[in-house]
Structure 1
Amino acid sequence: MRKKTLAIVGCGGLASIVVQALDKGLLPDFQIIGTYSRTFDKAQVFSNHINNTDRGYTCTPCHSLDELLKLKPDYVVEASSPDSLKELALPTLRNGTSIVTISIGGLADTAFYEEVKKTALEHGTRVHIASGAVGGFDVLRTVSLMEESEVTFESTKSPRAMRYSPVYDPIIETQEHTSFEGSAVEAIALFPRQVNVSVAAALASTGPENVKVSIKTIPEFVGDNHRIEIKSQEIHAVLNIYSQTARIAGWSIVNTLRNITSPIAF
């Protein structure tokens, strides 16, 4: 069977996990043939690592998205930012290339979301949303299809995560404080990098405009704690996930890629 070809956009710590998984033999059905990052040196570091091992193919570092897409990869792994997803999604899908993304916040824009769906359908491509730092999308989608439901998303973070945000208040450095309450749409507008996971949960369930999001900070807190709750007439489910670092988001990309080619998908 021909191996699927991958290109990576955003050559940071999360994307490096995909390369680690490739090195460990956890992605036997894939080849990484191209890399692109805002800083070319980062793309080159990734490609050099891949090329320094005899893999039977070459990985090309690229100076632009256009250059990357000319390689005609089967999939682009996007591990950069919601803005990056909004920049690359439509040209990538038109290129005949599917996307695996963790920057789900870009899809909170309803008009853009619909354009992405339309473009993917027209070109026979797909957008695969990795679970990032959360999970339970199967339960959320199942219950929301089954009957009317209500979803809340509560996130607990350290003050550091809010220091350069529009809602920063010095009180968070010394006291437990609720920094934000609103919809997932409002949350992603204020915190484009911090609440991607809430948009993912919203897209899997009742929609970004309907999911209620709250962000609490606790002094000296390390990592992230996410609590997703869905309630309907018949179902009440709670998902609570703590992660000390963001590494789980990178490994969720690996799991998504494995599901794409696996005869049994989880």
Structure 2
Amino acid sequence: MSRLKLGILGSGYLGGIIADAWKNGYLDEYELVGIAGRNEGKTKALAEKTGCRPCADVDELLALKPDYIAEAASVAAVKEMAVKALCAGTSIIVLSIGAFADADFYEEVKNTAVEHGTKVHIASGAVGGFDVLRTVSLMGDAVSGIETRKGPKSLKNTPLFEGHLMTDTEGTEVFAGNAKEAISLLPTKVNVAVAASLATTGPEHTKVNIHSIPGFVGDDHKITAEIKGVKAVVDIYSDTSAIAGWSVVAVLRNLVSPIVF
């Protein structure tokens, strides 16, 4: 059986995790044909390590005719790549889910995929459990929410940061609203809110609460979807972004597995 062609968009830490997983035999059903990234040196080094072609941009990567592109780059990269890839017959695995906070872009991507018979697979990133959250939301008029705990340092350079957070001795709620409002306020830092709202009740109906916790390291996301008689709770803590890269590997493995989880 011929192997599926795989391209990776992003040659940083997360792209490296996907490439290493391929090299170490986790993705034997795929042929890694190319890696594209903004940093020429990192891209060449990663391509040399895995024996594939370094690509200067997504157009060069698409010229290799991959069946799938695994994105581990940025929201901007998704916006540049998604429609091009889908039109070219390449399905995509998206990690930078914040790109879909743009409702018009989301609709364009969805319609393009339908038109060209391709698919967009949303990687779970730093959270998971989207299957059960989506199931509960299909069962009835669900209520969904996300409660996030973060350290104050991680809020720096965002509209939510205030100096007193660094010296507070107790937790502070720094945001309360819906996912649409959170996305508008923090467009590059709300992949979890975007993904959870798409999997449940939508950005306008998914409540979001963000708390600054003194001394807290990492991120803790507690996502709920609830109807009468059924409540699903997914609570994920991580102090490393590595789980995001491995979530792409999990999607790729599921795509070719005879038994799908």
In the superposition, the TM-score normalised over structure 2's length comes to: 0.95
Q: Any conservation in 1 of the 2:67–2:91 contact (CA below 8 Å)? A: yes
One-letter amino acid of the structure 2 residue matched with residue 24 of structure 1: N
CA distance in 2: counterparts of 1:109 and 1:144, whole angstroms: 22
CA distance in 2: counterparts of 1:20 and 1:109, whole angstroms: 32
Report the alpha carbon displacement of residue 29 of structure 1 after superposing the two structures with TM.
0.5
Which residue does 1:48 correspond to in 2?
48
Q: Any conservation in 1 of the 2:136–2:232 contact (CA below 8 Å)? A: no
Alignment map for 1:50-69 (pairs within 5 Å): 50-51=50-51, 59-69=52-62
CA distance in 1: counterparts of 2:216 and 2:146, whole angstroms: 18
CA distance in 1: counterparts of 2:134 and 2:240, whole angstroms: 27
Q: Does 1:224 align with 2:222?
A: no
The secondary structure found in structure 2 opposite 1:164 is coil
Q: Does 1:35 align with 2:28?
A: no
Which residue does 2:121 correspond to in 1?
128
CA distance in 2: counterparts of 1:37 and 1:252, whole angstroms: 20
The secondary structure found in structure 2 opposite 1:219 is coil
The secondary structure found in structure 2 opposite 1:181 is strand
Which residue does 2:157 correspond to in 1?
164
Q: Any conservation in 1 of the 2:98–2:189 contact (CA below 8 Å)? A: no
Which residue does 1:86 correspond to in 2?
79
CA distance in 1: counterparts of 2:8 and 2:85, whole angstroms: 12
One-letter amino acid of the structure 2 residue matched with residue 250 of structure 1: G
CA distance in 2: counterparts of 1:65 and 1:189, whole angstroms: 27
Determine which of 158, 178, 196 is the counterpart of 1:183: 178
Report the alpha carbon displacement of residue 191 of structure 1 after superposing the two structures with TM.
2.3
Which residue does 1:56 correspond to in 2?
none
Q: Any conservation in 2 of the 1:183–1:209 contact (CA below 8 Å)? A: yes
The secondary structure found in structure 2 opposite 1:185 is helix
Alignment map for 1:98-137 (pairs within 5 Å): 98-137=91-130
CA distance in 2: counterparts of 1:64 and 1:247, whole angstroms: 24
Q: Which runs of 5+ in 2 are unaligned?
A: none
Q: Any conservation in 1 of the 2:136–2:231 contact (CA below 8 Å)? A: no
One-letter amino acid of the structure 1 residue matched with residue 70 of structure 2: V
The secondary structure found in structure 1 opposite 2:112 is helix
Which residue does 2:11 correspond to in 1?
11
In the superposition, the TM-score normalised over structure 1's length comes to: 0.94
Residue range with higher mean Cα deviation, 227-236 or 119-128: 227-236
Deviations 1:37-66 (A, max 9, x none): 122222111101112xxxxxxx11111221
CA distance in 1: counterparts of 2:72 and 2:236, whole angstroms: 21
Residue range with higher mean Cα deviation, 252-261 or 62-71: 62-71
Identity %: 49
The secondary structure found in structure 1 opposite 2:157 is coil
Report the alpha carbon displacement of residue 190 of structure 1 after superposing the two structures with TM.
2.6
CA distance in 2: counterparts of 1:159 and 1:84, whole angstroms: 28
